[in-house]
Structure 1
Amino acid sequence: MSFLIKKPSILIITLICLSFFSFNLKAVQDISFDKQLKNADRIRSSNPNKFNEIVTSLLQQKSSLTHDQILHLSYLNAYRLTYKGQFDDGILLFLKIADSDASSLLKIRANISLVNIYAISKKWTKGLSSLSKTIELIPSIESQEIRQLAIASAVLFYNQLGQYELGLSFANKLLHEPIEGRTLCVAHNLKLESQFELGLLKEGDPQILEGIEACQQSNEVVMESAIYSYLAELHLKNTNPQKAILALEENLQAIEQSRYAPIVALYYSLLAKSYFQIESDAIAEDYAQKTIQQTKNIANSKPEVSSYKVLYQIAESRGEHQQALEYHKKYAEADRAYLDDIKTKHLAFQLAEHQTTEQKSRIELLDKQNNLLTIEQKLSAIKAENNRLFIAMLIAIITLLVFWAYKSWMTQKRLKQLAEYDALTGILNRGHFTQVAQSALKYCANTDMYLSCILFDLDKFKNINDSYGHACGDWVLKKVAKVCQAQGRKNDIFARLGGEEFCIVLPSCDLVTATKLAEEYRKVIERIDSADSGFDFTVSASFGVTDTLRSGHALEKLIADADEAMYESKHNGRNRITVYSVPTEDADSDKNTAANSGGAQADQPLFTGS
């Protein structure tokens, strides 16, 4: 040490060397951390266990990371939390990143992840808000990879929301991008999901093999398994349960190792259905019970509904009627919750569309107001001789505003006059129903939305009037209207057309959902207790169902086709539902024929009261 003090130059050189060594060591550490972060980002879905190991290790070394590395790690940790099902914690981290000083690229990724999480956690309104922001940013995203992820998030969210047409359009847009690896697997998977839900996917479709190969090449086990689940469901629809079992069991071990609950539950439920179809009840029961265990933390899932139905059918076939009743109750509760979830999705989407329209109207109004201010500023600079022109323009504007206000007042007055209801039941009468239904049909035609129609007539109503009097008949009509109103959706158009005939128009509702809702109406009518009327009798109704895809957007044709299907229900024994079938070219023009029975096509459900 005394030597170093005597030689200050050596001391300085030594300090510089130590400083340089420390700086290089820090640089090496930074490079190592960056490499680990990039590796974790790359394998986050293909190798979840390794990804979790890297992120956990980096979190323990957080104090050694730079500010940008900490932000990147926070993003990966948020992804890890959401993958484990801790959605609220993940959302908080993603929101912090979006509001931080992180790079614009990381903020966009955080917003895309929020869209995906809101879809999985069924927070549809928040998800639509985040998705709207993401879609607006897509044209301005320079990174090809992130732009593709943004498009993929739109497909995922619309598919989860049940808006499969929109999902398919974005999936096609994504596949037109120059994609490869994981993104190519995601694109194929999402497109196949949209096509499957829309009924556009067939067993031998070459797109299925393309999607499987793309996911195998990028080692994406979860998404590959999802594609096999679509194929298995197609086999089941075509009554090929053995093929479905082969496709599912080939990938069962890999998907169980991933521990991704939604896909594992879907596999178990499909295996339960498949084994039940080949009468292997013990295996089917085991898979159904496994499904229920997997869906404990998944609300309102289709696999849960399917599994309770299988358990109910197995118990019924064994003659275990008490057990069958318990399973049927759980099946009915799960099915109702699942249908309510579908209704919630439709309502959220309609609300978002309404808010978007309202926002556009406000923007247009502000633009008009800004234009008016600009004109006023220009006019104030014009010489005095132009004042007359300014006054004339002002008078013209005032006149237009007065005319618009008068026209609006007249419209409101006319709408109030049209608000007429059936005096007995309190629901819409035929006149008001016609106005409202035609408006709904016009709106659905202009926006390419589904619209369905349910028509029903009370069975043997004349016998009730003749046997117990018209006061009792009035009680039945009011009771039917009351229970049906309680069962229906808020935006449905429910009316009494006359006598014992009722009609329900369902905007934004496809034929399958409408048929399920009709079954719910049939059940609540059938369960009416006549004791309060003072007499003992049963009430039932015969239903006819159609939609605009089959009957067009003319109200008269829609009601006529539903009426034809309803009379087919009457003809086939009453207290049942018949879906209208479009007559074939060689069929008689005055008949509504169908495969099997009741006016329903072979690919449409037919419900009965038996």
Structure 2
Amino acid sequence: MVTNCKITRYLLIFILLFSGGSRVSAAPIDEVDVSLGKLEKTLKSDIAAAQQQIDMLKPRIGSFTSEQTARLLIASAVSKIFSGDFDEALSALDKAETKVNTPQYLSQIYNYRATCLIGLRRYRDALLVMGRNLALLEKIDDPIEKRDSYFRIANLYDELEAYDEMGLYASRILDLADNQQDTKAHCYGIFLLAMSQNGRGMLKQAQEGFQNGLSYCAEHGYSLMVAMINKGMGDTARQLGDNLAAQRYFRTSLAQYQQFHFATEIVSTSALLAQVDLALGEVQEAEMMAANVLAADSSSSYMAARRDALKVMAEIAANRHDFAKAYDYQKQYLELNSKLFDESRVKALAYQAAHFSTNEREQELKLLNKERELLLTRGMLREKEHNNMVTFVTLLSVAIIMLAAFSYWGWQQKQRFMRLSRHDQLTGIYNRSTAQFMGDNQFVQAMSRDCHFSLMLFDLDNLKQLNDSFGFGCGDWALCRVVECVKASLSRHHIFARTGGAEFVVIMLDVDALDAMALAEQLRRSIADIDSHRSGHHFVITASFGVSSRTPDDLSLEPLINRADKALHQAKLSGRNRVCAAPEVTAEISDVEEVLSH
């Protein structure tokens, strides 16, 4: 995954690099136009100075033309966006829209409105606004306006974590930049493409792209983009495990953002730096960075950064044995993490409800219709029969294309939600239905190959007492910690799933009864050795295990599950925190012991 706190991390960069106010002016240039031109240039480099100019111009707005009023309102919205006041920015943009109706101005207004809606996490509304902006592109031949719109689309896909589509529009930006010899757009296109590769886990390619972008943007003097790329380099290095390099890049990026007073990115980068400092053992620096993040505005724009800072503070407090603070930080961390998870679901629904590919297909169909009308006009001068045939073939082709496109889109959405439905939301491992399906497939393989096949069920002995004594947050921590502990001992070929509240299953192909029992005992000891201090409380976690293996009489997975469940029940009755085997496992162990004794 890419960085935390992505709310407007690229969109505000767009404002600094590409916002230039009006490119079309119908009125003669006067003193007000000159002042507005200076204001629009100042917005790119000094937001505080730009706000002072806005405050000086506002008392005179009554004497402005409609176009001049719209330009001032757009500049005011840009300033509000940069400070994170998205509601005020939306209000200014609504007023600006009533003053002008030219496509160029409307495109700017729609772009900035989408920025505000993304900042407010109103993703579906942002998609609708961008759809309106795409419709305006038919009336605009200006490649710069198209570049800006492609830029917004790429950022919106980034917010929705649709990195393939983000990379597609980054490539389109690069194509337009190369055709127009636009060095700013080329610099940002390289960066967007590298970030899309980072999001897709293509870390080496992303690292190479960032290196190229760093050289190119530094050469052309785009200092704010250099700061952005340094942050991206740091994030890639962190994911590759090179924390020293990540720390160097993050510190450089933070210093550069501070020069621009870029509040959103300062907080985001500080949260990342806190994590890296802690990983390197620099506890004081990590604590200072995390404290700076928590001291910032607690608005939704900083939610992800605050979550990561709380995690750092919880770990520091736990290491200092200040378990009360550690528990408080951990509790706040879990609350924010839950909110961010809910937000990811909102993004998925918004992306399903409205997306840009539909708008693009509509534009392509309109172009096809125009070409068809031209063919019909020419055909009427030739032959009526030929004209009817061309019309029929064209309409049929359009219908097939639309049907194929919508079928493919529906298949993609089905695959996306199938992936989400396969895993347990709390622990991240497979859920019961997925384990049942995969286990049945492996059981069929075992029968066809006549090989070993074992299954174990285990249940945490004291989860209810933990929930009653310390709360469900502590119980959730215990479940997640047990999953981490168990996964470390399992092979990637094993199927590990959560089947109920505190019950888990491990399905093992090509594992005999002896090895299954040995693995169960190893897992039992590992769980019992879990250190609970990091949860903010002191308690012991234990688990009871039931193990079964395939016999020639088994025709499905159910008999193994039933025998393992009975063995688990026997382990509970025998005092808990132990491993019990089904009868066929006990018999196999006895046979092995008898052979060894002879």
Class of the TM-score when normalised by the shorter of the 2 chains: 0.5 to 0.7
Equivalent in the alignment of 1:95: 94
Are the structure 2 counterparts of residues 526 and 106 from structure 1 closer, same or farther at C-alpha, using a change threshold of 3 Å? farther
Query: Could you tell me which residue of structure 2 aligns to residue 176 of structure 1?
Result: 175
Conserved in 2, the CA contact under 8 Å of 1:316 and 1:324? yes
Partner of 1:239, secondary structure, is coil
* Aligned pairs for 1:265-414 within 5 A: 265-294=267-296, 296-299=298-301, 301-352=303-354
What is the number of equivalent residue pairs in this alignment?
Answer: 408
2:227 to 205, 220, 225: 225
Over the aligned positions, Cα root-mean-square deviation in angstroms equals: 4.9
1:159 matched residue in structure 2: 158
- Could you tell me how far apart the structure 2 residues matched to 1:248 and 1:209 are? 15
Determine the structure 1 residue equivalent to 2:495: 566
Relative to structure 1, the CA distance from residue 311 to residue 567 in structure 2 (aligned partners, 3 Å threshold; closer, same or farther) is: closer
- Worse overlay, 446-455 or 167-176: 446-455
Paired AA for residue 495 in structure 2: M
Q: Using the alignment, how far apart are the partners of 1:313 and 1:211 within structure 2?
A: 35
The AA in structure 2 aligned to 1:51 is A
Counterpart of 1:141? Answer: 140
Tell me the alpha carbon deviations over residues 68-102 of structure 1, each in whole angstroms, 9 at most, x when there is no partner: 21221111112112222221121122223334334
Aligned to 1:249: 251
**Structure-1 residue corresponding to 2:84:** 85
The secondary structure found in structure 2 opposite 1:184 is: helix
- Rate the CA distance shift 1:312–1:37 in 2: closer, same or farther, 3 A: same
Residue by residue over 1:495-554, the C-alpha shift from the partner in whole angstroms, topping out at 9 and shown as x without a partner, is: 768xx95999xxxxxxxxxxxxxxxxx99998557999xxxxx9989989xxxxxxxxxx
Q: What is the rounded CA distance, in whole Å, between the counterparts of 2:229 and 2:507 in structure 1?
A: 31
In structure 1, C-alpha distance between the alignment counterparts of 2:238 and 2:297, rounded to whole Å: 22
SS of structure 2 residue aligned to 1:142: coil
1:37 aligns with 2:36: yes
Q: Do 1:81 and 1:89's aligned partners in 2 also have CA atoms closer than 8 Å?
A: yes
2:76 pairs with 1:60: no
Q: Compute the displacement of 1:305 (Å).
A: 1.9
CA distance 1:564–1:208, shift in 2 (3 Å): closer
Structure 2 partner of 1:236:
238
Alpha carbons of structure 1 residues 530 and 68: separation in structure 2 relative to 1, 3 Å: closer
Whether contact under 8 Å (1:525, 1:540) holds in the other structure is: no
Distance 1:63 1:287 in 2: 46
- Mark the CA change 1:51 to 1:215 in structure 2 (over 3 Å): closer, same or farther: farther
1:129 Cα deviation from its structure 2 partner? 0.4
TM-score, normalising length: structure 2: 0.58
- Superposition deviation, residue 255 in structure 1: 0.9
Equivalent residues of 2:271, 2:308 under 8 A apart: yes
Q: After the TM superposition, which residues 497-576 of structure 1 pair with which residues of structure 2 at under 5 Å, given as runs?
A: 527=463, 565-567=494-496
Q: In the alignment, what sits opposite 2:580?
A: none
Amino acid at match of 2:336: A
Q: Structure 1: which amino acid aligns with 2:419?
A: S
Q: Which sits farther off after the overlay, 106-115 or 44-53? A: 44-53
What TM-score, normalized by structure 1, do the two folds share? 0.57
Instruction: Identify if the C-alpha distance between structure 1 residues 75 and 454 changes in structure 2 by more than 3 Å, giving closer, same or farther.
Output: closer
Q: 1 CA distance for matches of 2:275 and 2:132? A: 41
Match of 2:204 in 1: 202
Shift of 1:281: 0.7
1:577 Cα offset (Å): 9.5
Going from structure 1 to structure 2, the CA distance change for 1:502 and 1:308 (only over 3 Å counts) comes to: farther
Partner SS for 1:202:
helix
- What secondary structure does 2:419 align onto? strand
Shift of residue 43, structure 1, vs aligned partner: 4.2
- Residue matched to 1:110: 109
Take 1:281 and 1:75, find their aligned partners in 2: how far apart are those partners? 44
| Shift, 1:270, TM fit | 1.6
State the alpha-carbon separation in 2 of the partners of residues 58 and 268 from structure 1.
Answer: 36
Could you tell me whether the CA contact under 8 Å between 1:312 and 1:328 is conserved in 2? yes
Higher relative contact order (CA 8 A, sep 6+): 2
- Letter of the 1:192 partner, please give it: A
Q: State the distance in 1 between where 2:411 and 2:331 align.
A: 36
Deviation at 1:322, TM superposition (A): 1.9
On the 8 A contact 1:52/1:80 being kept in 2, the answer is: yes
Residue 452 of structure 1: aligned partner:
419
User: Alpha-carbon deviation of 1:285?
Assistant: 0.7
8 Å CA contact 2:70, 2:100 repeated in 1: no
Find the structure with the greater CA-based Rg.
1
- Are 2:253 and 1:258 aligned? no
Gaps of 5+ in 1: 1-27, 368-439, 457-483, 505-521, 533-537, 545-561, 581-596, 599-608
Cα distance in 2, alignment partners of residues 211 and 48 from structure 1: 25
The alpha carbon displacement at 1:188 in A equals 3.0
Change (3 A) 1:503 1:320: farther
State the one-letter code of the partner of 1:247.
Y
One-letter identity of the residue aligned with 2:323? H
Contact 1:455 1:543 in 2 (8 A): no
CA distance in 1, matches of 2:467, 2:281: 43
CA deviations on 1:250-284 (whole Å, 9 max, x unpaired) are 23233123232221112111211121111111111
Distance change >3 Å, CA 540–CA 145, structure 1 → 2: closer
CA separation of 1:253 and 1:353: change in aligned 2, threshold 3 A: closer
Give the drift of 1:186: 3.2
Letter in 2 for 1:190: L
1:109, 1:495 → 2: CA distance? 50
Q: In structure 1, give the amino acid aligned to 2:274.
A: A
Residues 579 and 150 of structure 1: CA distance in aligned 2, closer, same or farther (over 3 Å): farther
Q: Is the 8 A contact 1:155 1:171 kept in 2?
A: yes
In the aligned structure 1, how far is the partner of 2:353 from the partner of 2:271?
33
Q: Quick check: 2:230–2:252 contact (8 Å CA) kept in 1?
A: no
CA deviation profile, 1:547-583 (whole Å, cap 9, x unmatched): xxxxxxxxxxxxxxx995425999xxx9779999xxx
Shift in alpha-carbon separation, 1:224–1:248, aligned structure 2, 3 A:
same
**Structure 2 residue corresponding to 1:189, chosen from 184, 191, 197:** 191
Aligned twin of 1:129 = 128
Shift of 1:448: 6.8
Q: 1:67 to 1:120 in 2, by over 3 A?
A: same
Pair 320,96 (structure 1): closer, same or farther in 2 beyond 3 Å: same
Amino acid at match of 2:322: E
Contact 1:229–1:266 (8 Å) recurs in 2: no
Take 2:245 and 2:492, find their aligned partners in 1: how far apart are those partners?
41
Residues in 2 aligned to 1:197 and 1:61: alpha-carbon distance in whole angstroms: 47
SS in 2 for 1:154: helix
Distance 1:173 1:119 in 2: 22
In structure 2, the CA distance between the partners of 1:503 and 1:305, relative to structure 1 (3 Å rule), is: farther
> Offset at 1:44?
2.1
Identify unmatched segments of 5+ residues in structure 2.
1-26, 370-406, 440-457, 469-474, 485-490, 509-521, 524-540, 543-598
**Structure 1 pair 146–443 and aligned structure 2 pair: CA distance change class (3 A):** closer
The question of whether the paired residues in 2 share the 8 Å contact of 1:295 and 1:301 is answered with: no
Identify if the C-alpha distance between structure 1 residues 138 and 149 changes in structure 2 by more than 3 Å, giving closer, same or farther.
Answer: same
Alpha-carbon distance in structure 2 between the residues aligned to 1:204 and 1:196: 5
| CA deviation after TM superposition for structure 1 residue 127, in Å | 0.3
Percent identity of paired positions between Structure 1 and Structure 2: 15
